[in-house]
Structure 1
């Protein structure tokens, strides 16, 4: 039986300004959120405006939200595993800017996919990731990097925790590396979170490689792909192959349900409000 307060939110739009995010998060039933620090499809980011940031902090305080539960997600263009020098250099530069934006917004964690080696091999990709993280963490000393698990496709690194361990063991500041577990990515990569045995196996792998204490966030998504499909196609809560019962099984483990749960499901605020309501129903059924 679980007796915890649910920390839940969704990936929120920033087009109307950072100051709108706290209130819109509360309106959809959340008490935390994830955002991009800028337009995720641009190499040159628009930096936050001072008045917007000032109002943002006012709204955070007004709605009594906890800054430590917020998450920024790195832009789509960043690939710090890339063997292409120009892409790698631009990725490092942009990642550092994003960390600075996080610091300006009081957001402690920046979530990033470890990256793709583009066919040049895991060792090459991992070396590039470590080199990039060392550079940005040396220059921005307050923001933590949250490595997100991915699916096994396109030369991706980070589809299991043995790969994550190689990164963490090699960086200069391992104490500033956290983890985000994405349920869609995990299921698509072969982690069967719909069964008790599957979740226990996942927890064992995390504990024995990187340590469960590094796990700070959950991307709570259903999936359009079957177990092990490696498709990475998110679905609304209860409508995919994980399903309500699968997510109920996953959330019955306090190691996951006690963390901030962030939805990256299809749709905008109205759809996220529906998904959050369903997650709350699932959670209440576990508690009762």
Structure 2
């Protein structure tokens, strides 16, 4: 959801487009600069959450695009940690429990080194801000990314000093492009069994619900609007028919702004109604 002009607009606009869950960036995601919101904005945001009866468990912040806590470059790692600390403070001030991050890229230095850097960063920021939980989002294999399978997630969590405050977000486009076939019941079963076996299914807190522009296993990571990609409405119906997936808050990261997201929400609700009755 857009935050230009203040966080207070988010609850109202979420409901206006048909949503009951939302994700925001805590600042401009393409900049290193971030600051705490002013008190008046925070008050109006919290009032809006209550006024529109939004569940705090369905509210998510997404870390900025520049953050790379797996980076082998000390200056980038330190700037990433500093920005992540501010993001956690923004979440805490707004009363948002969950901050979603991409684990990061080792930039050719190797998985083990990258995972150690990730855990070191998480230990530092989670020690200083104790009310916010970190959600690790799955990614594709490209560019030295870490987090394209759940064995990597397990290794990160095992090195963390606050494992009880680390959860997961599953991104459908990233997962599909990474080779998880979520368009079949068997593929979804295998995915959930892998998550449960490695880190525990209870860590799965959110779904980023995106269609994909590319084929299964492409490692591309290009989101598409609901029903317009290779997952499609048929794949979405299979996905939402799974009881574990359908029990989680669904967050769109599809192309476009509020009008396009309203259209995507309407499509999701139509599929949901086919499976369960009125949403």
User: Which category describes the TM-score, using the shorter chain as reference length?
Assistant: over 0.9
Show the counterpart of 1:204.
193
User: SS state of the match for residue 68, structure 1?
Assistant: helix
User: SS state of the match for residue 265, structure 2?
Assistant: helix
Matches within 5 A, 1:54-65: 54-65=43-54
User: SS state of the match for residue 218, structure 1?
Assistant: strand
Matches within 5 A, 1:15-164: 15-164=4-153
> What TM-score, normalized by structure 1, do the two folds share?
0.95
Taking the aligned partners of 2:92 and 2:70, their CA distance within structure 1 comes to: 24
User: SS state of the match for residue 145, structure 1?
Assistant: strand
User: SS state of the match for residue 142, structure 2?
Assistant: coil
Show the counterpart of 2:245.
256
Check if 1:237 corresponds to 2:222: no
Structure 1 residue 165 displacement after superposition: 0.4
Contact 1:177–1:214 under 8 Å retained in 2: yes
User: SS state of the match for residue 154, structure 1?
Assistant: helix
Show the counterpart of 2:176.
187
Show the counterpart of 2:162.
173
Q: Deviations over 1:206-250 (max 9, x none)?
A: 110011000000000000010000110000000000000101101
Taking the aligned partners of 1:41 and 1:200, their CA distance within structure 2 comes to: 36
Taking the aligned partners of 1:200 and 1:22, their CA distance within structure 2 comes to: 34
Give every structure 1 segment of 4 or more consecutive aligned residues whose post-TM-superposition deviation is greater than 3 Å.
none
Structure 1 residue 287 displacement after superposition: 1.4
Q: Deviations over 1:110-142 (max 9, x none)?
A: 000000000100000000000000000011011
Structure 1 residue 85 displacement after superposition: 0.2
Q: Deviations over 1:75-118 (max 9, x none)?
A: 00100000000000000010010000000000000000000000
The alignment's C-alpha RMSD in Å is 0.7
Taking the aligned partners of 2:76 and 2:182, their CA distance within structure 1 comes to: 35
Higher RCO (C-alpha 8 Å, min separation 6): 1
Aligned residues: 277
Taking the aligned partners of 1:47 and 1:103, their CA distance within structure 2 comes to: 10
Q: Deviations over 1:46-78 (max 9, x none)?
A: 321211111111111111111121000000010
Q: Tell me, which stretches of 5 or more residues in structure 2 are unaligned?
A: none
Contact 1:130–1:170 under 8 Å retained in 2: yes
